[in-house]
Amino acid sequence: RLHPLIICVQDSSLLYDYIVKVLFKLHDSLPGDTLQGHRQRLIDQFRRLKRFYEQASTLQYFKDLIKVPLLPDSPPNFKIKDDIKNYQTPVAIVHTPPPEPAQTHDEVLIDTSDDTRSTLSFAMSDDWPPNGHSVVDRSKEIAELEQRLSKYDAILRGNRVETDELHRLIAAKDTELITERNHRLQLEEQLRQQLDNQRRIEEMHALDKKSNSDEKFNKLHEAYTKLREEHIIVLRRV
Whether the pLDDT of residue 111 is over 60: the answer is: no
Q: Is 166 in contact with 52 (CB distance < 8 Å)?
A: no
In percent, the amount of the chain with pLDDT more than 70 equals 81
- How many Å from the N-terminal Cα to the C-terminal Cα in the chain? 139
User: Does the pLDDT at position 115 exceed 60?
Assistant: no
Rounded Cα gap, residues 207 and 128, in angstroms: 114
Q: Among residues 216, 169, 192, which one has the least CA distance to residue 37?
A: 169
State residue 4's pLDDT score. 78
**pLDDT of residue 237 exceeding 60:** yes
CB 157 within 8 A of CB 11: no
Mean pLDDT of the chain: 78
User: Is the pLDDT assigned to residue 106 strictly greater than 50?
Assistant: no
